[in-house]
Structure 1
Amino acid sequence: MAVTSLDTHALFVLGDLRAKLVKQFQSRFVYVTEQSAEGIYIAEIDTESALVVDDKPRLELKVGDHFRAAVLPSREGGKFELKFRDIKLTVYGLGEYAYVDIPEGHGIVFKEGHGVMMVFAANEQLQGALTKTLKAAVSKAAKWRKGELVFKASE
């Protein structure tokens, strides 16, 4: 049986990341994007109609039935697991995420393999150039050059 633990450093770094993600869902409209060199998928979440549950003791955030984020123990000391639709993404620490700001709002971009996932809190509901706006936010941290992901982490 594998021994897993949640060390103090992982708890501090990943717990802080979870707290910042919870802040994202305090906005009325949150956009979750999945982007790779092939394209982008965008989902809009209206936090007034989607149940947002911040379970602080278990270090978990749930939004409706489609989004979940939690700090969990692991062999490496701790991991941050995100689930959205069929996507399951694991962040182990610094260098795997970036904070981005544009005039329309702010987001957290998570790197996974050759793609990224962004949770973006909009100042108001995005109209019209939705894809262009969200791609501009992602491009602050991630770009694809000749099909390869170039990622600029925040820390």
Structure 2
Amino acid sequence: MAVSFDTQALFVLGDLRANLVKLFQSQRFIYLAEQTAEGIYIAEIDTESALIVDDKQGLELKVGDHFRASVVASREGGKMDIKFRDVKMSVYGLGDYAPVASADGKGIALKEMGSVVLIFAANEALQGGLTKTLKAVVGKVAKWTKGELRFKASDI
């Protein structure tokens, strides 16, 4: 089977990549969290010390050695591969992500199978209650019931 780009997938995923670039450029502190039914893993990126490379032509975003998102052709018409440390996931379209916001900042939640990755641009560094804050943001679009993930995807 051939690997190709579908025009709609290219636009949707290109917009998602552009929104990720805006998040990384909007605030100094970015929090990446991977949540599953079992727990949560959190990392902080200080964008003042991490080089942000926005390759518009190649549809790729790199943030230091911490994070990479790139739109690539696939059998399904297109996907975005996201890597952050040991976390690797693929996003295929509108049903796999949702914008989220709280009083502490804004972000994008991405779903793959039973896990959700949150990329959250905080208005200021989150000190106490980091886990509670990020879980509450993820909870706006994702719920685990008996280990099963229910995700409220973007309508945009």
Work out whether the TM-score is over 0.5. yes
Amino acid at match of 1:25: F
Equivalence for 2:10: 11
CA distance in 1, matches of 2:129, 2:13: 33
- Deviation string, structure 1 residues 54-84 (Cα, Å, up to 9, x no partner): 0110000001112100010111111111011
Query: Any idea what SS the aligned residue of 2:95 has?
Result: coil
The number of residue pairs the alignment matches comes to: 154
CA distance in 1, matches of 2:65, 2:98: 25
CA distance in 2, matches of 1:72, 1:63: 18
CA distance in 2, matches of 1:76, 1:131: 35
- Deviation string, structure 1 residues 97-128 (Cα, Å, up to 9, x no partner): 11111000011111111111110000111111
Greater per-residue helix proportion: 2
TM-score, normalization by structure 2: 0.96
Equivalence for 1:114: 114
Query: Any idea what SS the aligned residue of 1:95 has?
Result: helix
Structure 2 unaligned runs (5+)? none
Structure 1 unaligned runs (5+)? none
CA distance in 1, matches of 2:77, 2:113: 21
CA distance in 2, matches of 1:125, 1:87: 23
Quote how far apart the aligned CAs of 1:94 are.
1.3
Percent identity for Structure 1 against Structure 2: 69
Equivalence for 1:61: 61
Say which is worse superposed, 3-12 or 52-61, in terms of deviation: 3-12
Corresponding position: 1:89 with 2:89: yes
Amino acid at match of 1:112: E
- Deviation string, structure 1 residues 27-54 (Cα, Å, up to 9, x no partner): 1000000001111010000000011100
TM-score, normalization by structure 1: 0.96
Corresponding position: 1:80 with 2:84: no
